[in-house]
Structures are given as C-alpha cells and as structure tokens.
Structure 1
Amino acid sequence: MIESNSRIVIAGAGSIGCYAGGCLAAAGKAVTLLVRPRMVKLLQQEGLKIIDPDGAEKLIELEQFSLTSDPEIAFRQADIILVTVKSGATEEMAELIAGCAPSKVIVVSLQNGVGNAETLRQHLPPEAPVISGMVPFNVVQSEPEVTPLNVRRTMPGTILIDDTLDGLAEALSVPGLAIKAHPNMQSILWGKLLMNLNNALNALSNLPLVKQLADRKWRLLLADQMSEALKVMRAHGITPAKVQGAPPAVLPWILRLPNFLFRLAAHKMLAINPHARSSMWEDFSRGRATEIDYLQGVIVRLADEKNIAAQLTLKVFACVKQAEGKPIRSHSVEEIRAMKV
C-alpha cells in the first residue's frame, strides 16, 4: 500500500521535474525538489509557476514544497523518488540515491530512452523497487532571468508507469499530472523512442514543433528516420507500442502525406501549443550536452550489430554531435541529408 502522505523527491528537477513536482505540491503532496544551486536561488525568489496546455496558470508558493541542492538532505527520508535527469546522468544519480536514500525507497524513472530503469537497478539495493515510466508530453522552461520560474506543458497526455507496484499510479496521479499503470512498459519506451527521433530534427531546425511538422520536407526526413528505426527494431525482435495517435508502423506513412492530407490525418499531432519545442532544442539553446546517444545513438548501435544500413539516422546523429555546445542555428533538411558520415 502506497501512503497518501508519502514523501516524494524529484531527482533532477529541470523542466519535466519542476512541472511534475509543481503539480504534486499543488495537490498537497510532500514534495522536495533536488535542483542545481542556481535553481535554488531562482525558485527562492518567487516560487514556481506551472502552466497547463490550455494556458491555465498556477503559482506554487515556496512554502508548498521543499527545495535543496544537497542529495543527502533530499533523499534521506524519501519514500518515492522520481528521476527526471537526462539519461547521461542516470548512473551518477543512481549512486547518489544508493548512498543517501532508505534501502526500500521506490524509484521511478521518468526519462527519455529505453535503458534507464536497468541502469538504476544495477546501482540500487535489490529491495528498492525500480519502476519504468514514460512522459508523453514536453515542457518548456522560461529563461533564467524570468521570475517566477515558468514551466509550460505544451501538449496533453497521460504518464504511463510499470504496473508492478499496486497503488503507485493512483498515489502519484493528481490534477495536471495524470498517471496510469501499464503492463508492458518496455514496448511503450521503444514507441516513445521512435517518437523522440524528432527531438533532434526539431533542435536542428530551430523551429517551433508545430511549424516544423507542418513542413513536409522535415516530415519526410522524420519518416525516413522512423523507417530505418523500425527496420532495425524488427531485426532485433523489438515491437514498439503505440504511445499516442497512430500505431508505430503507420507513422511514416502519415508523415509522408501531402500537407493538406496530413493536416486532416494528424490534426491532433498539430494541436499543440505554439511554444512547444523539443527538450533537445532546449539543450541546444542552453549550450548543454544532449541525449542523442540514448535516442538516435541506440538505433545506430543496434543497426551496427545486425549490419543494417541506417545512414540517415547516423547523419542526424553526426549533425547533433557537431552542433552541441555551439551557438544555436537553423539547419536545413538538405544540409542534414548531405552530411558526410
């Protein structure tokens, strides 16, 4: 039984983490945000504002949640830890949890990629339940100088988590943060990875998602990438599950439709906030390392194992690696397709 007053820690409270933590705190849950020192100062000024897809705003006052940059303080009395760090920081976060948290703490991965839960399990005590999760929406964070800090959810969707722990989804599901249990999370994670192949294209295009998806040249690039990925997954016996909208096998066909037919077939895909951009675009804009190794990088590695050509995926991977840490700029589809690898 999961207690309603369980102490919840958001481990790595960036955009997704602050949004999830804000929703939980607004619902009266006992929430601690583990953040970088600069974020402590920012949140201490005027609290946290969460913005729903319909534009509704809610200010979460500082007294409604706890805040620290010290893992020992954050984890020592935690009942549930929601891990929201980038995939590259999973191992480091797992070691911090193992060193500071109770041995039976419940750990939920709300991260991109397909291997984070396994990484967490490798470093945590065997009695600590590790739960895979999938967040189907993105969140845009305001610029560092904006106060209060704004985290804007740009699309609808229900978070899915493993069904291995009775009552966990119900305990975490609050207004603005719907969570449901699912019996086959690994297939869901592969389906999400397929969708997340657009993260890199959105970052490279430097366009809002709705504008990028409205451009057939970008959609064709995404469709070709997805076709490569589906071929690689089939060769490895991987069956991605539908995350939202159409089944994975149908997505490339829909993306290749002429604009007027695409608008009819994918109106829900285009019904997103005009502010929406991918998390990788946010990484580009802030000069941070991206998660490309855990998205396109996974497909490239699996393709190599089966000697399957995945040249376009490799080109996108190379373009992102080349762009990391540099001033953000707009790439063209032609530039990406012509990339030498």
Structure 2
Amino acid sequence: MNRTVLLIFLWIPFLVFSQSPTKFTGFHPGADWLADDGKVIDCHGGNIIYVDSLKTYYWYGEHRGEPRGASCYSSKDLYNWKNEGVVIEKDTIETFERPKVIYDSKNDRYVMWFHYDGNRYQIAELGVAVSKSPTGPFELKDHFRPNGHESRDIGMYIDPKTKKAYIGYAADHTNRTIRMVALADDYLSLTENDVDINAHCEGPGILKYRDTYFLLTSGCSGWKPNPATYYTATNIMGPYSSHGSPFINDLENNSFNSQPCYIFKVPGFKDAYIYMADRWNGGGHPDSQYVFLPIFITESGKMELRWYDEWNLSIFNRN
C-alpha cells in the first residue's frame, strides 16, 4: 500500500468522528440545534409531549423543508433529539402550520390539531389528524372552522389531572382576538364551550400555576418579532387581565427576537415550564432557530423570562 492510500485510510475514522452530531448537555437559545443525523432540527411552531409509558419526549412542529408537513423528533433528555421523519405531509393543504399533538391514553392514540388554510389565509380552519404511533404516520380526519369562527395560530393546554384539553386560537379577521375552546373527551372534536378572550394577538402559549392560568401571546406583526403580552385568569375560559411583557431586560423589546408557540411543563420537576419559541429571521425558513427559556412565576404572581446563553433543567427544583 503506498503512502497516499495509507494516509486516506488513516483519515477516514477521523472524518466520521468529526462529523458525528454534538452531544448536548443543555439548551442554547438562538443557536443552531442539530439532531442525531447531524442536520439542523426542522420542527417549528409546534409542541412537546412526554409519553410516560415510553419514557420519551416527542417534539412535533412544521417541517419547512421538503416534504412540507409536520416532523417529529424524539428524546430522552430534551437536549438531544432523534429525527423520526415527517409524520404527515401537507399534500393538498396549501398552508399547514402550528401542529399540536396530544396523547389520548384512553384510546392509545395520538391526535394532532393544526392551522389548516389556503395560501392567502382565507380558509382559516382547524385541521385534525390521528395516529396509533407517536412517530406517525398521521391521517387527516377533518378540517373546519371552530364553531363558525376563523382560526389561525393555535396553542394547546391539557389539564394534567382531569385530562381535559383546550385550544387557544387566533380568531376572526386579522387575528382580531384570541378564543379558547374546549375539546370533546375524544380529542377529535370540539365542544360549544368556546369563548372570546378579547386579546388582539397570536402565537398563544398556556400554563397553569397554582390556581391561575397564564396566557402568553405575541402581537400581530407577521414574521417580525414584537413585545409579548401575558394575561391571567382564574378560569381557563376567562375573563383574562393583561399584564404587559414578561421579558426582563429585553433591550430590543422583541421577546428576545422570538415568537411563542407553546409552553411545556416538564414532568418530574416542581413548576418547571419551558417557553418554546421560534426565531423566524423574517420568514419561515427550515433552519430558523429556536429559543427555549425557563419561565418563572414570582411570589407576587408575575410571569418572568430572562435570557440565558446556555441553561439546563437543573435550574428547576425536582418534585
């Protein structure tokens, strides 16, 4: 074997090793986040669920590369994610946005709700799909306007005790308001328990802390970030009171250059909430970054988010 060939063989293991994905030990808001395949995670505007029987987290979101639709990633620690692929393709759906998945333990199935629309946002409906596996494929079951109202950006909240589920949706022309609607027990349909929260905003995220519900939203400025507003109520259906932006030392007044999509309550910790948000950079690009930050509720009942270049779950107290 000549010297050149020998050198090539010696370099091959190094190249394979050097291209292996980074092992993450925490969150790095706004930085590129790589999955197990070494590619940037493409999973936007979605949510995370934890399936206790599988001891696994599943992250769903818009897959903005090809094929368009919803992607799924799985993880054991919330830092390192395995690419499970596209679990539903948008196919004939012109606009597929903001997928939110809930696990139906009674029927052992996974239900996905999302914003179903045309390319000019004129349809403004909710879509619903179902799968027997967390990694799909999901089958489209229906799409409609909830109780006759336009619906665009959506958020979701599941009561951990009662298992009741709710969708907060940006409603009516130009997202003039946020409405809250209760899902039926089968999670595949809606009830008529549907109220106007009277908040001109979008990108809703919802959490419950003690006896208070917190609704975190962005303003309506398209792909451009803006100062968020949070609202509180003692009943998830309202009425809600506005409290301004929860972002501390947000120098550019744009929610740390992000837009909320979901609030994930981490199991195994006391009052551990993660702000899930996208950094769109002026458009819905496949490589748009993510901003995950801890949410804290002060003793006086205020929501606060601070910037961290890096953080991990040790910031929270375990149960």
Normalising by structure 2, we get a TM-score of 0.29
Higher strand share: 2
